[in-house]
Each structure stands twice: as structure tokens, then as C-alpha cells.
């Protein structure tokens, strides 16, 4: 039994109640008492407070049976909004969501500069504009979470952003001071893993997600929490060396995994080896269906190097679920089968290997979800969104 002062117990009960209301979407007070194990008096007091705060709404359940219609509770999803930002090397993706993680506004801003101050000014401009859009809601913009494609410390400072050549930047402080909002800074791969856990694999206690777009990053979820390592830098698996004395990497080493197994490296190699310039995902999908030998060969090389890295990761972490976030792999119907054929070591153990359904939206979805979790002060968050994926 959990014991402690009254305020602490009340906070725990509030967290539990909100988590269950979100998970069930709509639930009666009586059922809420059953699933939480809290008595009806506690439920009544907490729900009354949450209704007064306008975090909850209630509605009568329509049914044809005799008797009183039950009143169902649900989260007031329009009470506030969360902003997720994916800051990549050549673009910034802004996604605004309601309190259930559903996107309400999306903007993509191309980057023409690597200058830190210029990019901060761009971020501030858009944050302030989006903040204005939320003023009509009860809580307004509840938080901004920025996904960084680089090393982020536990105190949310950027140690190194390889593609933008940033070192030791306190972007959180700059955004808070200039935009006057609550800000969280997190590694993009960690946010991607968090999104997989929140939206798709909530019951998993051991999940890793590998983002494979502009580089390669590893996010790890253990018992519902992001595993960050001692300083916060765990997961920089893209800079694991897979080819000794290989190609030069922006990190300063040679032969890093992301130079051979990321999507950006795939397109670069396709251009260098076969002169296929300005190719996009639709082109790749078309060429693979046509069986173009050069593209098929390049895909086989990609899968080969992905498998090399995965062998190392599985042996290190023994994960339950492995999610590969790659649009290219999604275009190849036999990709998972081909990869699994190469994971044939007797000491390789994992439960499930799959391709992400969230795709490039995963980082901003995780960013929005993190702001929501922090705002609601809950220990578990289980959101549900149906993805509509097309090429």
C-alpha cells in the first residue's frame, strides 16, 4: 500500500484517474472506481475538481435499456494544445495537437541556414504564431517539445548536433526567454520511441525504436520511461562503426552505421553509383515494382548493413520489440523477412521486429505526447490514432 501525506496521495490518485480516463476514452464513475481500485468518494472528489478545471467533460450515454442513463467522463481534448517540433538538418516540422494527440495544425519549414541564432529566431516566430492560435482554449499552448537530431543531455542542453555543427547550445533557455512558453528538449530518436510506446505498443515494457532517415538514432523505452544513460546520450547507435576505415562521418569517425544504412545514405549512394538524381520515395517504389536491377541491388545493400547493426543491437539489449522507422523499408514488402534471415545467430533474442506505422510523423507525435504527459502529470499515457498512410 502506498502511504504518504494527503497532498501526495491526492496527486497519485489524480494521475491514476486521468490515465484511466484517457485509456478508456469514455468511462462512468462507477467503472472508473472499479478499474482504479479507488472508492467512490475519492472518485467523486477528484472528478469534481477536474470538471471544475475543465480538464474533463461529461455526457450521458445513449442506450435503449430501461433505467437511468449513465454519465460518461472523458478528457476535454480541446482544453489545451501541445506543439511538437522536429528540428532536422534541412527542415523544421511543426505539429500542433489536442490533448489526445490528434494533429490540428502541421507546417513544414525548409531550412536555408545552419546558423544557430537564425534558426532560433525561426522557431520563436512560429511558436509565437502558433501560440496565438491556442488562446481561445482553457489552457492555451501547454508545452513545446523540440526533437533534436543529436546529443541532448539530461538537463536538456544540446551537446552536439552533427549536421548543423552545433556544440553546447542551451536552446531551451533561449526559446523560453524569447517565446515565453514551457519548453522541453529531447533527442529525436527518444521521442520516436516514446511515440511508439504511447500510440502503438503501450503494454510493452522493453521497446527499442530505430530512426533511419537523415541519420540513425536509437530510442529505448524501459517500463514506460525513456532510457537515456548516465549523461543522457544513450542511443547514438548511428555512430557505431560497421566498416573499419570506411567513409568519413560528420561525427569525426569513419565507417559509421548511418553512412551505410540510413535513408539519406541510400539516396546519396543511388546518385553516386547509378546517377539517379532527385529520386523520391515514389520513384523508389516504382523502380522496385519494376525490378530495376540497380535499385534492387542498392536495397539489398541497405538491408545487409541494417542487419549488421541490428545483430549488434540485439546482442547488446535483448529487446522485446524492435521498431524500424524507415519509409524505404516500408516500400519493400519482403524487407522484414530479408532482415530476419540475416539475424540467425544462436545468441540473438528478441520477440518482434516490425516497421513503424508512424513514419516520419513519429518524432513530432512523441514530442506532442511528451508535453501532454508533463502537463497532465501522469505516469502512464496511452493514446490512440489511426494512421492514414499513402505514398
Instruction: Please indicate, yes or no, whether residues 70 and 185 belong to a single structural domain of this protein.
Output: no
Instruction: Please indicate, yes or no, whether residues 37 and 161 belong to a single structural domain of this protein.
Output: no
Indicate the burial class of 212 (C-beta count within 10 angstroms; 0-12, 13-18, 19 or more). buried
Q: What is the pLDDT of residues 130-160, one digit of tens each?
A: 999 999 999 999 999 999 998 999 999 999 9
Q: What is the pLDDT of residues 110-123, one digit of tens each?
A: 999 999 999 999 99
Question: Locate cell 537564425: which residue?
Answer: 118
Instruction: Please indicate, yes or no, whether residues 90 and 234 belong to a single structural domain of this protein.
Output: no
Structural domain containing residue 84: 80-192+362-376
Number of domains in the chain: 3
Instruction: Please indicate, yes or no, whether residues 205 and 347 belong to a single structural domain of this protein.
Output: yes
Q: Quick one: pLDDT band at residue 63, thresholds 50, 70, 90?
A: low
Instruction: Please indicate, yes or no, whether residues 69 and 95 belong to a single structural domain of this protein.
Output: no
Query: Does a structural domain hold residue 237?
Result: yes
Share of the chain above pLDDT 70, in %: 95
Query: Does a structural domain hold residue 275?
Result: yes
Share of the chain above pLDDT 90, in %: 74
Query: Does a structural domain hold residue 345?
Result: yes
Strand order in the sheet with 71-75: 27-28, 71-75, 56-60
Q: Please report which residue ranges of 217-290 form alpha helices under DSSP H.
A: 258-261, 263-274, 281-290
Least confident window among 66-75, 90-99, 329-338:
66-75
Q: How far apart are CA 107 and CA 28, in angstroms?
A: 38
Crossing angle (nearest 10°) for helices 171-179 and 116-133: 40
Q: How far apart are CA 328 and CA 269, in angstroms?
A: 14
Instruction: Please indicate, yes or no, whether residues 41 and 102 belong to a single structural domain of this protein.
Output: no
Instruction: Please indicate, yes or no, whether residues 88 and 68 belong to a single structural domain of this protein.
Output: no
Instruction: Please indicate, yes or no, whether residues 171 and 315 belong to a single structural domain of this protein.
Output: no
Query: Does a structural domain hold residue 386?
Result: no
* Residue that is last in its domain, among 49, 75, 101: 75
Instruction: Please indicate, yes or no, whether residues 299 and 227 belong to a single structural domain of this protein.
Output: yes
Query: Does a structural domain hold residue 284?
Result: yes
Q: What is the mean pLDDT of residues 3-30?
A: 90
Contact between 208 and 353 (Cβ < 8 Å) = no
* Residue that is last in its domain, among 42, 75, 108: 75
| CATH value at residue 53 | 1.10.10.10
Query: Does a structural domain hold residue 54?
Result: yes
Q: What is the mean pLDDT of residues 269-283?
A: 86
pLDDT at residue 301 is higher than 90: yes
Instruction: Please indicate, yes or no, whether residues 40 and 99 belong to a single structural domain of this protein.
Output: no
pLDDT recorded at residue 235: 81
Q: What is the pLDDT of residues 227-269, one digit of tens each?
A: 988 888 788 898 999 999 999 988 889 999 999 999 999 999 8
* Residue that is last in its domain, among 45, 75, 105: 75
CB atoms within 10 A of CB 301: 16
Q: What is the pLDDT of residues 344-386, one digit of tens each?
A: 777 778 899 999 999 999 999 999 999 999 999 998 999 987 5
Strand order in the sheet with 151-152: 151-152, 158-161, 166-169
Query: Does a structural domain hold residue 385?
Result: no
Indicate yes or no: pTM above 0.85.
yes
Q: What is the pLDDT of residues 303-346, one digit of tens each?
A: 999 999 999 999 888 899 999 999 999 988 889 999 999 987 77
pLDDT recorded at residue 385: 75
pLDDT at residue 163 is higher than 90: no
Average pLDDT, the chain: 91
Instruction: Please indicate, yes or no, whether residues 58 and 98 belong to a single structural domain of this protein.
Output: no
Q: Quick one: pLDDT band at residue 4, thresholds 50, 70, 90?
A: low
Instruction: Please indicate, yes or no, whether residues 143 and 215 belong to a single structural domain of this protein.
Output: no
| CATH value at residue 253 | 3.30.420.40
Query: Does a structural domain hold residue 288?
Result: yes
Q: How far apart are CA 33 and CA 41, in angstroms?
A: 9
Q: Quick one: pLDDT band at residue 216, thresholds 50, 70, 90?
A: very high
Amino acid at each position: 500500500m502506498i502511504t504518504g501525506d494527503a497532498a501526495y496521495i491526492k496527486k497519485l490518485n489524480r494521475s491514476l484517474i486521468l490515465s484511466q480516463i484517457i485509456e478508456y476514452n469514455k468511462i462512468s464513475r462507477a467503472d472508473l472506481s472499479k478499474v482504479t481500485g479507488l472508492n467512490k468518494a475519492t472518485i467523486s472528489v477528484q472528478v469534481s475538481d477536474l470538471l471544475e478545471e475543465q480538464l474533463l467533460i461529461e455526457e450521458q450515454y445513449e442506450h435503449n435499456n430501461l433505467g437511468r442513463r449513465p454519465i460518461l467522463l472523458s478528457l476535454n481534448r480541446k482544453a489545451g494544445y501541445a506543439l511538437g517540433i522536429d528540428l532536422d538538418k534541412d527542415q523544421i516540422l511543426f505539429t500542433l495537437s489536442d490533448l489526445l494527440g490528434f494533429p490540428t495544425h502541421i507546417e513544414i519549414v525548409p531550412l536555408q541556414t545552419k546558423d544557430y541564432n537564425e534558426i532560433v529566431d525561426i522557431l520563436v516566430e512560429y511558436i509565437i504564431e502558433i501560440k496565438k492560435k491556442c488562446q481561445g482554449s482553457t489552457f492555451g499552448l501547454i508545452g513545446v517539445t523540440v526533437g533534436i537530431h543529436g546529443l541532448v543531455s539530461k538537463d536538456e542542453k544540446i551537446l552536439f548536433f552533427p549536421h548543423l555543427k552545433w556544440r553546447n547550445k542551451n536552446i531551451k533557455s533561449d526559446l523560453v526567454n524569447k517565446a515565453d512558453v514551457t519548453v522541453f528538449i529531447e533527442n529525436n530518436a527518444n521521442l520516436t520511441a516514446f511515440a511508439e510506446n504511447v500510440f502503438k505498443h503501450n503494454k510493452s515494457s522493453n521497446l527499442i525504436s530505430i530512426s533511419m532517415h537523415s541519420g540513425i538514432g536509437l530510442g529505448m523505452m524501459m517500463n514506460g520511461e525513456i532510457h537515456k544513460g548516465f549523461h543522457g546520450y544513450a542511443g547514438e547507435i548511428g555512430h557505431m562503426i560497421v566498416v573499419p576505415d570506411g567513409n568519413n562521418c560528420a561525427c569525426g569517425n569513419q565507417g559509421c552505421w548511418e553512412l551505410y544504412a540510413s535513408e539519406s545514405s541510400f539516396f546519396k549512394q543511388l546518385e553516386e553509383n547509378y546517377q539517379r538524381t532527385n529520386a523520391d520515395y515514389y520513384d523508389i517504389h516504382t523502380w522496385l515494382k519494376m525490378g530495376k536491377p540497380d535499385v534492387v541491388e542498392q536495397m539489398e545493400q541497405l538491408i545487409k548493413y541494417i542487419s549488421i547493426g541490428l545483430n549488434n543491437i540485439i546482442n547488446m539489449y535483448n529487446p522485446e520489440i524492435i521498431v524500424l522507422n524507415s519509409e524505404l523499408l516500408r516500400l519493400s514488402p519482403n524487407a522484414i523477412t530479408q532482415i530476419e534471415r540475416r539475424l540467425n545467430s544462436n545468441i540473438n533474442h528478441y520477440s518482434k521486429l516490425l516497421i513503424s506505422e508512424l513514419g516520419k510523423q513519429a518524432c513530432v507525435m512523441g514530442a506532442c505526447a511528451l508535453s501532454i504527459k508533463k502537463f497532465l502529470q501522469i505516469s502512464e499515457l496511452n493514446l490512440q490514432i489511426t494512421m492514414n498512410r499513402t505514398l
